[in-house]
Amino acid sequence: MLAKAKYITNWAQVKLLLKLSEVAFILDVSPEQARRLCAKGDIPAVKVGGEWRVEKTKLQAYLGVSG
- CATH number where 26 lies: 1.10.1660.10
Please, are residues 15 and 67 in contact by the beta-carbon 8 Å criterion? Answer: no
Mean pLDDT over 52-57 rounds to 95
Better pLDDT: 29 or 4: 29
Contacts (Cβ under 8 Å, ≥6 apart) of 23: 34, 38, 43, 52, 54, 59
pLDDT at 14 (0 to 100): 83
* Domain annotation covers residue 29: yes
Mean pLDDT over 41-57 rounds to 95
Mean pLDDT over 38-58 rounds to 95
- Average pLDDT of the chain is 87
Q: How many domains does the chain have?
A: 1
* Domain annotation covers residue 43: yes
What is the domain extent for residue 19? 15-63
Contacts (Cβ under 8 Å, ≥6 apart) of 64: 2
Mean pLDDT over 33-55 rounds to 95
Mean pLDDT over 45-52 rounds to 94
Write down the pTM of the prediction. Answer: 0.81
- In single-letter form, the type of residue at position 5 comes to A
